[in-house]
Amino acid sequence: MTTLKGPAIFLAQFLGDQPPFNNLKTICEWAKSIGYIGVQIPTWDSRCIDLQKAAESKTYADELKGLVNEAGLQITELSTHLQGQLVAVNPAYDVLFDGFAPENVRKNPKARTEWAVQQLKYAAKASQNLGLNAHGTFSGALLWQTVYPWPQRPAGLVETGFKELAKRWLPILNEFDKYGVDLCYEIHPGEDLHDGATYEMFLKEVNNHARACLLYDPSHFVLQCLDYLEYIDHYHERIKMFHVKDAEFNPTGKQGVYGGYQSWIDRAGRFRSLGDGQVDFKSIFSKLAAYNYKGWAVLEWECCIKHPEDGAKEGSVFIKDHIIRVTEKAFDDFANTGSDEKFNRSVLGLD
């Protein structure tokens, strides 16, 4: 068993134009002041990191790591969620997802995909330069617009989609393997990898690649009515990252899983600050500890009601209180009478 590392915080939802949230140094000092010991860095935000430079310059990576360490924190992982989304985009979403890409590749899906793939490859080397062993991303989606099959999906469409998805990701996975880093897909609605079944289809197409791992976030499973505890039993060997995020699902006579096109505040399924939702974190932390999860517990704050700074302050305490310092001995060791093969055979009546 292993004691989880944390608390840590994903900076993506907290970065802004006003101090202390407008640069890496001051946001790290803020995070430390409210109880965090680690930060997860979004690589698309230049206020935090120059991803290409971190990949190409070990000196720059060391300076970045040193800046975070000076604040009393560690870098837990890097994230390429926005770039990963662009590895696979169905044309139905071209206009919306162009906003995730630099202007010079917008309205050019081929160039945009090539840019995204290169970003992921930079992230692999940057992670190695920073001494990290896991990285978080999205899979992108070629099939999501067909998730509810009306009109019915053409025969073979899903198989074709996953073969293409794997074709795009396999060279990236190999790059992460080259640098000794696990690539962790956040299983998430809107992605082709959005539950266990889709993850397994992808794994099959990438030949069960050892680096095709998981970022576990139970909030997305609450909103899908998926058993997020049993999920850990199935996939614990692949879970290498953990977003601690809460959610609630309260269906009514008017709406359910799909949310009726309502804003987040009016949806049956909503993300909440830690402790305000329905996720059974006591059981999650127990399972991860028992299954020897060696990574970080990282707050991802998304709440449609509470102020983010309050959510962050409460979140550090919440995570710290849920991390289990695992035992190094059995509770009944005091009653141990010792044994050897001769004694064991005697107990069994064999001698």
| pLDDT level of residue 351 (50, 70, 90 thresholds) | confident
Write down the pLDDT at residue 297. Answer: 98
Mean pLDDT of 211-223: 98
Average pLDDT, the chain: 96
Write down the pLDDT at residue 336. Answer: 82
The CA distance from 14 to 20, in Å, is 10
SS3 label, residue 240: strand
List the alpha helices (DSSP H) in the chain.
Answer: 24-33, 51-56, 58-70, 81-85, 94-97, 109-129, 157-178, 196-205, 219-222, 228-235, 281-290, 308-322, 341-347
Q: Which two tokens stand for residue 336?
A: 């141990």
Candidates 87, 12, 89; CA nearest to 44 is: 12
The CA distance from 26 to 46, in Å, is 14
% of residues, the chain, pLDDT over 70: 100
The CA distance from 219 to 168, in Å, is 28
The CA distance from 228 to 220, in Å, is 9
Beta carbons of 242 and 297 less than 8 angstroms apart = yes
pLDDT in tens, 151-174: 999 999 999 999 999 999 999 999
Mean pLDDT of 64-81: 98
The upper half-sphere exposure of residue 24, i.e. CA atoms within 13 Å in the direction of its Cβ, equals: 24
Estimate the crossing angle of helix 281-290 against helix 228-235, to 10 degrees.
10
| pLDDT level of residue 58 (50, 70, 90 thresholds) | very high
Beta carbons of 55 and 83 less than 8 angstroms apart = no
The CB-based long-range contact list for 265-270 (8 Å cut-off, 24+ gap) reads 265/304, 265/305, 269/222, 269/223, 270/304
pLDDT in tens, 308-328: 999 999 999 999 999 999 988
Model confidence at 338: pLDDT above 90:
no
| pLDDT level of residue 337 (50, 70, 90 thresholds) | confident
Model confidence at 335: pLDDT above 80:
no
Boundaries of every domain in the chain? 5-347
Write down the pLDDT at residue 135. Answer: 98
Q: Which CATH number describes the domain made up of 5-347?
A: 3.20.20.150
SS3 label, residue 151: coil
SS3 label, residue 234: helix
Candidates 243, 302, 242; CA nearest to 273 is: 302
% of residues, the chain, pLDDT over 90: 93
The CA distance from 289 to 347, in Å, is 34
| pLDDT level of residue 329 (50, 70, 90 thresholds) | confident
Write down the pLDDT at residue 179. Answer: 98
The CA distance from 60 to 140, in Å, is 30
Candidates 40, 80, 319; CA nearest to 186 is: 80
The upper half-sphere exposure of residue 274, i.e. CA atoms within 13 Å in the direction of its Cβ, equals: 28
Q: What secondary structure does DSSP assign to 165-213, as a single string?
A: HHHHHHHHHHHHHHTT-EEEEEP-TTSS--SHHHHHHHHHHTTT-TTEE
SS3 label, residue 157: helix
